[in-house]
Copies of this chain bind each other. A is one copy, B any other.
Amino acid sequence: MAKELKEMTKRADNYSQWYNDLVVKADLAEQSAVRGCMVIKPYGYAIWEKMQQQLDKMFKETGHVNAYFPLLIPKSFLSREAEHVEGFAKECAVVTHYRLRTNATHDGVEVDPSAKLEEELIIRPTSETIIWNTYKNWINSYRDLPILCNQWANVFRWEMRTRMFLRTAEFLWQEGHTAHATAEEAQEEAIKMLNVYADFAEKYMAVPVVKGVKSANERFAGALETYTIEAMMQDGKALQSGTSHFLGQNFAKAFDVKFLNRENQLEYVWASSWGVSTRLMGALIMTHSDDNGLVLPPHLAPIQVVIIPIYKNAEQLHAIREKVDPIVAELRKAGISVKFDDADNKRPGFKFADYELKGVPVRLVLGARDIENGTVEIMRRDTLEKHSAPLEGIAQYVEKLLEDIQENIYQNALKQRESMTREVNSYDEFKQEIEKGGFLLCHWDGTPETEEKIKEETKATIRCIPLDGDKTPGKCMVTGKPSAQRVIFARNY
């Protein structure tokens, strides 16, 4: 592992390669035998599980329930909503047959041509269609509303260029699908879930995000409005980290879902949908980690504290363990996950490098002299600073340190983002500045044409029209036409 660490690319040399190396070397994920699909390894999955648990709790606290809808969607469903089919039908996995048979040479299997489906089935790229087809049976009157369902599921989009966690053909996600009696309520729901996502990103992932609205070009296929949280990676590129959509009555109309309102009139149902995915793992990795490996926020680290004994013989190990056992018990009682690593087939130096690579927030090291002196060596992963502290009261000390680290990495990411966010007022300046990365706050005339031109010429897109902050109007940097407020341009993942 120490050897592998040396082989890891430095961020300054090649940020993109550094990310790929890190995902593999920290045992988070690896490529599978299926093009564009990854294997999420146990350590990576443990982080995803912690994300899931926290998000699921937040969804339930805001009144949502979980359900499960079919993996496969009849082909015809996709074309019911005109924009949706444009956005999703193009790249999808199509099931055409339901049986294999032994081949003629008896050395393998082949598709049985007699087992062809009448209508092909699509592996869900997202579930609006199958869910709204189901909601039709659930909704008759305003008394059946709202419906506030979430689904944890795998989805599949046949992506041409994939990168682990950031863009994979199959990925894991949650998708909320809600049905409401009024447009206002559906809108409020979309905003509510945007806020849940932002809270989660900031308080658990320690990733600062900008909340905003997408421009028409970047809107979800079938939505009237798409809200987004946008994070900035260390290389200054944006990462869309979660989206929430106000779908209006589009899917209700496509699947004929009406309800009797309080005035006893039939009306189409109003909808929202919202999702975050294993892409969040990419955001987590790229925001905090360094050339030594992962840096995990304590609130999501599978192992929050590792304790490594330094000993020459069984007697010394025994003495250390006697000191360590009550500390471990106390930390666990406080809900902190601790690993005491006394494996004797690995040298301490190897362990140090390995837990650094894995991003364990706090490392405690105890040797014979520490036992004599009643001290312990503490290293915090975020700053790599080491210092000695008294064993007495160490559990409370570590508890506080974990919160300090959580806050510190958030503040670092925020400073980084602020230092790379600036106002740009002319298109010439924009073309220079965009090469340096970061978020550029610019006036834009609100047209898809201007946005498209900027994208073609600079590879930058509008990440969002921020909900908070400065709303001063101005003039479009490209066309000079009026602009309601500055929007965020950036290159993105």
Contact = CB atoms under 8 A, between A and B. Distances in A.
Interface of A: 30, 32-34, 37-42, 45-46, 49, 65-79, 85, 89-101, 107-111, 120-123, 130, 133-134, 137, 143, 149, 153-154, 156, 158, 170, 172, 345
B37 A98 contact: no
A451 to B, nearest CB: 25
B68 A45 contact: yes
A46 B65 contact: yes
A166 to B, nearest CB: 16
B158 A39 contact: no
Nearest to A27: B138
A78 B100 contact: yes
Given A79-B108, A95-B93, A100 B122 contact: yes
Nearest to A68: B40
B94 A154 contact: no
A130 B32 contact: yes
Contacts of A70: 32-34, 37-39, 170
A42 B67 contact: yes
B90 A99 contact: yes
Contacts of A154: 71, 153-154
A92 B96 contact: no
28 contacts: A30-B137, A32-B70, A32-B134, A33-B70, A33-B133, A34-B70, A34-B121, A39-B68, A42-B65, A45-B65, A45-B66, A70-B170, A71-B156, A72-B156, A75-B100, A76-B108, A78-B109, A79-B109, A89-B109, A91-B98, A92-B99, A92-B100, A93-B95, A93-B97, A93-B121, A96-B96, A96-B97, A143-B345
B98 A95 contact: no
3 smallest beta-carbon distances between A and B, as pairs: A42-B65, A37-B70, A40-B68
Nearest to A73: B34
A94 B98 contact: yes
A144 to B, nearest CB: 12
A155 to B, nearest CB: 10
Nearest to A153: B154
A71 B170 contact: yes
Contact of A109 (B72, B85, B97): B85
Which of A68, A89, A99 has the largest count of B CB atoms less than 10 A from its CB?
A68
Contacts of A98: 91-94, 158
A68 B164 CA distance: 13
A79 B106 CA distance: 10
B92 A94 contact: no
Contacts of A89: 100, 109
Contacts of A170: 70-72
A379 B109 CA distance: 58
Contacts of A111: 75, 94, 96, 120
A80 to B, nearest CB: 9
A170 B70 CA distance: 7
A367 B45 CA distance: 50
Contacts of A149: 42
A33 B42 CA distance: 35
A123 B99 CA distance: 11
Given A40-B68, A111-B120, 4 more contacts: A75-B110, A78-B100, A92-B98, A94-B100
Given A39-B134, A94-B98, A100-B90, A74 B121 contact: no
Contacts of A122: 100
Which of A107, A109, A345 has the largest count of B CB atoms less than 10 A from its CB?
A109
Nearest to A32: B70
Contacts of A75: 100, 108-111
Nearest to A76: B108
A118 to B, nearest CB: 10
Contacts of A96: 94-97, 111
A123 B95 contact: yes
A97 B94 CA distance: 5
A335 to B, nearest CB: 16
A95 B34 CA distance: 12
A92 B91 CA distance: 22
Given A90-B100, A96-B97, A42 B30 contact: no
A4 B131 CA distance: 24
Contacts of A85: 109
